[in-house]
Amino acid sequence: MNRFGRSSLGGGPSTTNSNARIATMPGRLPVPATPVRPLAAATANLGLNSDRQRAVMVQRLRNQGIQDERILNAMLTVPRHVFVDEGLASRAYEDAALPIGYGQTISQPWVVARMIAALCEERMPTRVLEVGAGCGYQAAVLAQLVKEVYAIERIRGLYDMARFHLRTLRLAARVRLSFGDGMAGLPSSAPFDGIIVAAAGIKIPASLLEQLAIGGRLIAPEGGATQRLVLIERTGPATWRRQELESVRFVPLRAGTQS
């Protein structure tokens, strides 16, 4: 196996509970029909217990094969319970996707760590685009590692939620958040030396591949009913190298915006 396969970062848990629609997963909570309100005082809700739970989460990630201490420290720093509804705060550090409203979820911690680890292995990108910011959690983790983080979200309510959470944690200046069509990327800010896509398309959009700098990497889920993480590295002006990683399950990648 090569450096981006299971040999380096481990197979991890079953990813049927990754960034999927909760309603399709037996035993999970249903997706709320109404938007989930942001958690205004979340950092006070769990108190010191959240620090302990976050440490347990990080140790679990280490046991699951995430070995990059930079990423583990970033996951330890960002309070995941801030990004979920108050009623789900006690579950924030489980290795599970949780509903955030609008039929969307916050990805399970292992998926977040795995995707960032693949992007950053043996390097550290300085300019990263996240497609599908959701509630802002993955962008907040990236902001602990990457100098320039750009994030785009197509659902207005989630864009507002992500902006609120990033401001609450004083990360708004470190994450350049945009409301728009993620499939189109951000051509005005390209090229990026890293792109993370947090929703699954049948194919990786060509517009995103074109916004990748030479030597840059893109990681995204690809497929329909069956999905895999795909890592693509741009090797020249018109050449890309592709590698398939673990099986995952994400919400669909959609074009356009939703107000």
Catalytically active residues, by annotation: 107
Contacts of 27 (CB under 8 A, 6+ apart): none
Contact 231, 4 (CB under 8 A): yes
Using N-to-C axis directions, what is the helix angle for 109-120 and 69-77, rounded to 10°?
140
Of the candidates 189, 97, 187, the one whose C-alpha atom is nearest the C-alpha of residue 149 is 189
Residue-wise burial string across 179-212, b where 16 or more C-beta atoms lie within 10 A, e elsewhere: bebbbbbbeeebbbbbbbbbbbbeebbeebbebb
Strands 212-223 and 98-101: unpaired
Nearest to 150 by CA among 119, 189, 122, 184: 189
Residue 183 near residue 208, CB atoms below 8 Å: yes
DSSP-derived letter for residue 258 is: B
Query: What token pair was written down for 236?
Result: 């020249």
Q: Is 44 exposed, middle or buried (0-12, 13-18, 19+ CB in 10 A)?
A: exposed
Check: CB of residue 244 under 8 Å from CB of residue 229: yes
Phi, psi of 127 (to 5 degrees): -140, 105
